[in-house]
Amino acid sequence: MPPYLLHLSTSLILSATRSTAPPSFPSSLGIPLCKISLPVFGLRSDSSVAELAKTVVEKKQVPDIIVNNAGTINKNNKTWNVPAEDFDMVVDTNIKGTANVLRHFVPLMIEKRHGIIINLSSGWGRSATAEVAPYCASKWAIEGLTRSLAKELPPGLAAIALSPVVVNTDMLNSCFGSSVALYQTTETWKLKNLDISESEWAVQAVAASIYSTCNMAMRTENVSCF
């Protein structure tokens, strides 16, 4: 999260696909965690995401910012050897899961007449590598989906496809094995990026491939992140 967001009156809403305690990062960044009851939901289920949206509306916590970060990857395999169920899992999570969120939350943001949608892509959504074709295909899809979405949104809303750097995570370990140790951890990434000034973030944003329908100005009011 860009450091300048920490200067806003920000309340963070976390929702997960499994019953685990919320991560500690909100408190470590000085961001209050919004205390509302959200259901554990299946991102791949359209009806489940619809129920989540209904709960958010009832709690009067329609988000200003949506981060579609959920993702999975197939086990390393030649494209023609990837089991159908593995391919389906990647597509249903990475593409259709994102589409489910957009289907039920974008109309709510349009009613508010402002909002930012951040869809997490990947370097492999702009290139490719062997043995993870389903994952690469899903991230290429996110790039195209986001570009189309940005052209459809009314003034006041923006859509961004962000490709993070390579970070040492469990998912990366599943395809890189022991060589994952060569890459920075999430903690290292966080410490490095929290030191970046607002102006440096702006320069990076301009240099990035950002597709939006308007020039968004961050509001200094209450911001709800989903």
Correct CATH for 3-14+25-166+198-225 of 3.40.50.1010, 1.10.1740.10, 1.10.150.120, 3.40.50.720: 3.40.50.720
Q: How large a percentage of the chain has pLDDT more than 90?
A: 45
Q: With bands split at pLDDT 50, 70 and 90, how would you rate the model's confidence at 2?
A: low
- Average pLDDT in the 26-35 region? 53
Higher pLDDT, 198 or 59: 59
pLDDT of the residue at 26: 54
CA torsion 205→207→209→215, rounded to 10°? 50
- Say how far apart CA 35 and CA 212 lie, in whole Å: 31
What's the Cα-to-Cα distance from 180 to each of 26, 90, 123, 148, rounded to whole Å?
Answer: 26, 21, 16, 34
pLDDT at 4: 46
pLDDT at residue 34, as a whole number: 57
Dihedral over Cα of 211, 213, 218, 223: its sign: negative
For residue 206, what pLDDT is reported?
46
Kindly list the domain boundaries of the chain, sorted by start residue. 3-14+25-166+198-225
The pLDDT score that the predictor gives to residue 223 is 37
Q: What are phi and psi of 170, to 5 degrees?
A: -60, -40
Band (147; pLDDT cuts 50, 70, 90): very high
Give residue 224's pLDDT.
39
Residues 37-58 have a mean pLDDT of 84
Instruction: Read off the pLDDT of residues 61-99 as tens digits, 9 standing for 90 and up.
Output: 899 999 998 889 999 999 999 999 999 999 999 999 999
Question: In residues, how long is the chain?
Answer: 226
Establish whether 135 is a catalytic residue. yes
Whether the model clears a pTM of 0.95, i.e. scores above it, the answer is: no
pLDDT in tens, 152-201: 999 999 999 998 767 767 776 677 777 767 777 777 766 666 665 555 65
